[in-house]
Amino acid sequence: MLSFAQVAKRQVAAGVRQTVVSRGMRTSAPAAALQKFSMPAMSPTMTEGGIAQWKKAEGEAFAAGDVLLEIETDKATIDVEAQDDGVLGKILVQDGAKNIAVGSVIAVIGEEGDDFSSAEAFASEGGSTGGAAKGKEDATPAPEGEGSNAAKDQSTQGAKGATPAVGTPADETKYGSGDQQTSPQKAPDAPGHGDKPKFFASPLARKIALERGVPLAQVKGTGPEGRITKADVEKFKAGSSAAASSPTSGATAPPGQAASAATAEYEDIPTSNMRKTIGKRLTESKQQLPHYYLTVEINMDRLLKLREVFNKASEGKSKLSVNDFIVKAAALALAEVPEANSAWLGDVIRQYKKADICVAVATPSGLITPIIKDAGAKGLATISAETKALAARARDGKLKPDEYQGGTFTISNLGMFGVDNFTAIINPPQSCILAIGATSTKLELAPEDARGFKAVQVMKASLSADHRTVDGAIGAKWLKAFKGYMEQPLTFML
């Protein structure tokens, strides 16, 4: 009599043999043989991203470890590698697409010999995710669950007789949503004079039209069955004078209104993922964190002389900046006052043992803060080399997630722009950020000098602190330690 374990093993082996035989005998790929490739989450906080470029073409085979595409996150452009061997059967969302929700289907993959003729239909199964990816001109996927609720919303509106909002008629199923077999897409009939207009447009086209004030009733769709796409709206905005001269209501516009719209001296610049994230996080920080600010003036004479000596001694091999000294001094001050090297996590205050210093870098798409990890244990030359390398990759959008996610303390230096003094917004969950101004010449009393005064080089540093974790006395103590290291830079060597 066979044991339960032996029976289970035989059943598993039989199932594997059956799968292998059926796959070897078939002539076309069943739906189960194909796989949906979804927008991956490149970080724990990522909710949407863009496709910078596909590295493989449709029908091209790939091996495990090959780069399939480049994903644009809110901070950088990241390569996505294949986990297994396969074939990129169908690309559903093309290069340059933006605002694609994590989990949305962007491609269909399979194996050599698979039939990808039904890939689009396969991708649209199971909700609106596939339908959103299916619209190649539209980068914005439909919200989750929209496909399953479209028919319900339609029948509910029809029963109640409610008038839908303009651009969202009750008798129109969203393109790419709903049951395509039982309710095929049809272009809506021309609206009557007393009815609100019905526009057969993609969600992204509606969004852009709303933002730019483009009347969809005047846009001619070039998509399937007359569907208005993103490109149609953008072309109309750029080349059609009707957008500025014809009001959407059909009434006659005042004489000066159309002229002012046509000659508007402004440009609407779409926000990047990075800019959206910056706006969201900094707004939350300013609204939710109890900021307070402390400022000190630092004598830079000794530091500037020491920097000059170091740079001459290196004979051009390396060039230290003032910011390198600031990073080192901040790390040493955090070791001396560890309460400032902390984060508010709600139920606990996390106090870090190492100083991972974030250095703010301005890029064409927004601000990013690469991290100098364990800066207190590194020398000035190492800090300088790492800062330059990270800043270059940040400007090229090539930072890896672990190079900008995290950090325990941030430094923002606007001194090179001639800014004398400013206060910065804390980057949560960190507790502090240090704002550095320009170094300038100042006259101060000097009884020992024959003139009675002398010129000194001074720099202002302002600390923004979260009062939940860092009390005023702690912030002042940290600034005192930081000033001491900056004014006595030889202590870096001890």
Active site members: 467, 471
* C-alpha to C-alpha distances, 236 to 12, 202, 232, 233, 266, nearest whole angstrom: 60, 15, 6, 5, 17
> At 199, phi and psi to the nearest 5?
-115, 125
Give the pairing type, strands 291-299 and 409-413.
unpaired
Q: What one-character DSSP code corresponds to residue 409?
A: E
88, 66 in Cβ contact below 8 A? no
Block residue for tokens 């209104």: 257
Between CA 277 and CA 289 the distance in angstroms is: 17
> At 218, phi and psi to the nearest 5?
-100, 0
Between CA 185 and CA 199 the distance in angstroms is: 13
> At 425, phi and psi to the nearest 5?
-95, 135
275, 366 in Cβ contact below 8 A? yes
How many residues appear in the chain?
494
Residue 322's nearest CA partner among 211, 413, 208 is 413
Q: Which token pair is 205? A: 């086209």
Residue 175's nearest CA partner among 120, 123, 125, 228 is 228
User: CB-based burial of residue 299 (10 Å sphere; 0-12 exposed, 13-18 middle, 19+ buried)?
Assistant: middle
Between CA 363 and CA 278 the distance in angstroms is: 13
Give the pairing type, strands 105-110 and 86-91.
antiparallel
* C-alpha to C-alpha distances, 374 to 189, 352, 357, 360, 419, nearest whole angstrom: 66, 11, 8, 17, 29
